[in-house]
Structure 1
């Protein structure tokens, strides 16, 4: 019996929000001082020309969603809000004391956790405090993630008044059975309410996050969720593959059995049929797992070749400096990555000592920078090339040789000094990136670190 493409290519693989991926960071050669040196160098060269991005991690959630792989702290005690915001503001002040000139902010994204766990008043205090010692770039983009169950009209209005024009609502799936399995109960009318409020207030880009491959999820569930989503006319969508990684996230993803999760060809059918349904509704695939209407800025960015990908996911703003604030946040100076303390108490302790709370990271080599660019090109434009000398590397011939089988399978086209991902190959874009991942090639992980690519 012939082996299907799903069976052939369904292997553990990274999602490539960075290269090198976190498990391959060389922590032994990293120090916080090296991170700050790299940050200041890139910042000095780019702050005035392109500005910087800020990612702010707001970790608290009132309940645990069992599909979630984010760093979070489950609590119903809202008195945790103010001390955390004070800590984030202090961290920003520590950075501003070190940076050589007043920062020009191009992008802010509030992620989590649940950003709308925090009251509108506290979010206003947080953003106002950050902007008070910063400049805002022309054509800035401020966005946040909202939970449909606790995002109020006041949340939306307060953040809009502060300059936010993008909001993303986590939907996942509308099936009652699936919602109970992942412990995320949110009726359609809750999502409809917050979406319509956002439109009424004036948000220019509204996104819904959908997930395929969830426990007990059927094809009818996926198609029903997409149709209901389309009825609300969001501007863009994320259509993610559920990452079943209970060996990393522990009991949070053990609320159901492994056999309850769709796998292989069954899971790929959810994606393929879901993507077809999205296309019927006018959504265009613009990157791995992401779709947008042609009227949305992310589609325009994709068509113009300006789409970017970093630890925040896909963005229309391409800044080389991204500073992550808050527990577990990751920062990027293009030449270096740095991650904050992942335990909340450790994060607070470092700030109490007036230390920027970075605890690990990676300084990119010249080779890393070349491979990073190829992977970004494939992830953001579905193609890459090595016409220029600066995009060539020692093991390029071996990498090209490893791609021939994918070309025979119809996943990509190899032209002279160029690779193009085919329509058939878009579901396998992680596998194509893995062919360039020299760290992964040189040292396969001894245990499973990544979710399955399919």
Structure 2
């Protein structure tokens, strides 16, 4: 007899990683990492894959004019726009240092501008940045350039200039349309602002427009979530991120202390917001893609999911995979497949390293053979909802222990285990993080001493 959803939520709602990487950042072996190792593994991976599949670039643009209290990103709040030009020059210098290291001309398959607020920057400075990046690279025949736009300050000029530079996807942070919720998270933006920038993008010719919606925000209830989805449906973005607010004030500090813990929806209400919201999205013609994402059939992410080419990295889900992802700007994380490397988080430290002509990496992790194998299992589960170990290259000594842990999830009808494989069932999709945790050997061997992850539900 299957258990009710409420009891499953109580059972599986535990702190857990979101698995934008494996190993997750708290388990990086920083003592075994060095800038020299990062350079060596990056060069190796670049030489293996640049000509065949190209590389991805994530560029972190950290400035915001005001603090959104739901945000977990690294940002610098300021209204002083004179910070733009020095930052653009620093990012371009970092890119130049990478180009000198790699020697061959990079073939860029993907660029994503994240933040912070990329549209904090003027049109002219964004043009200077992208033109500078592309002047030292080739553009892959099949490429995707995207950026995050704030509905309140994205201008038609922003959209047109980036479109002219090859950008065809834009995502807008919507979160929730209820004014009380917006005040709590310090993100006031009327529907009319979202409508305006969405229609501008469509008019200019953007091929994929995305809206980010968040459930579990302070003061938010089920009616708020359903109303936000109904209003979103009027604009019919091509894809949606519909994800859980990560309430981690012990990590993010005062930014997430603008409201009381008791103001945040808990357990069953939070899950109901997701389940009922998901039903409405499916009724509107969206398809569930991976974890927390939905797309219309015409969107590239849906097609990538259908073809089994969906990928997940520090940018989240992407419709195309590259072995190399270089992160530029403060706090950005790079991925050579064989290693991860994170940039300095403080702006002053980032600038100082670049002034010394150093790639501004301050920590990272080199993956061993076991890490690489478990990473493949977790990527499979996150991107295709199934993984297998019939191939000897995907087997590891602890597999029996993993299967014992998964057996209870099979009894709860979250997964199916058969023929040397695990498949996540429809009922199990909300628990994909928990299922991945069963494969996480670092987590098994050393439980965190302090709470470092958000709740899985």
Q: Give the TM-score, by structure 2 length.
A: 0.99
Q: Distance in 2 between matches of 1:346 and 1:296?
A: 40
For residue 241 of structure 1, report the CA deviation from its aligned partner.
Answer: 0.2
Give 1:392-411 correspondences, 5 Å limit.
392-411=395-414
Aligned partner of 1:66 in structure 2 is 69
Alignment length (residue pairs): 454
Determine if contact 1:25/1:362 at 8 Å carries over to the other structure.
yes
CA deviation map 1:257-314 (0-9, x unaligned) = 0000001111000000000010010110011000000111100000000000000000
Aligned partner of 1:245 in structure 2 is 248
Alignment of 1:168 onto 2:165:
no
CA deviation map 1:199-218 (0-9, x unaligned) = 00000000000000000001
Aligned partner of 2:221 in structure 1 is 218
Alignment of 1:88 onto 2:91:
yes
Aligned partner of 2:131 in structure 1 is 128
Q: Which of 328, 342, 348 matches 2:331? A: 328
Aligned partner of 2:271 in structure 1 is 268
For residue 156 of structure 1, report the CA deviation from its aligned partner.
Answer: 0.1
For residue 317 of structure 1, report the CA deviation from its aligned partner.
Answer: 1.4
Give 1:149-188 correspondences, 5 Å limit.
149-188=152-191
After TM superposition, the runs of 4+ consecutive aligned structure 1 residues lying more than 4 A away are none
For residue 41 of structure 1, report the CA deviation from its aligned partner.
Answer: 0.3
Q: Which of 45, 51, 54 matches 1:51? A: 54
Aligned partner of 1:116 in structure 2 is 119
Give 1:371-410 correspondences, 5 Å limit.
371-410=374-413
Residue ranges of structure 2 left out of the alignment (5+ in a row): none
For residue 233 of structure 1, report the CA deviation from its aligned partner.
Answer: 1.1
For residue 248 of structure 1, report the CA deviation from its aligned partner.
Answer: 0.3
Aligned partner of 1:308 in structure 2 is 311
Q: Distance in 1 between matches of 2:304 and 2:253?
A: 38
Q: Distance in 1 between matches of 2:410 and 2:103?
A: 49
Give 1:93-104 correspondences, 5 Å limit.
93-104=96-107
Q: Distance in 2 between matches of 1:155 and 1:393?
A: 50
Aligned partner of residue 436 in structure 2, secondary structure:
helix
Q: Which of 23, 33, 43 matches 2:26? A: 23
Q: Give the TM-score, by structure 1 length.
A: 0.99
Determine if contact 1:106/1:140 at 8 Å carries over to the other structure.
yes
Aligned partner of residue 74 in structure 2, secondary structure:
coil
Q: Distance in 2 between matches of 1:439 and 1:303?
A: 31
Q: Distance in 2 between matches of 1:416 and 1:398?
A: 17
For residue 100 of structure 1, report the CA deviation from its aligned partner.
Answer: 2.9
Determine if contact 1:311/1:330 at 8 Å carries over to the other structure.
yes
Give 1:423-434 correspondences, 5 Å limit.
423-434=426-437
For residue 324 of structure 1, report the CA deviation from its aligned partner.
Answer: 0.2
Determine if contact 1:235/1:292 at 8 Å carries over to the other structure.
yes
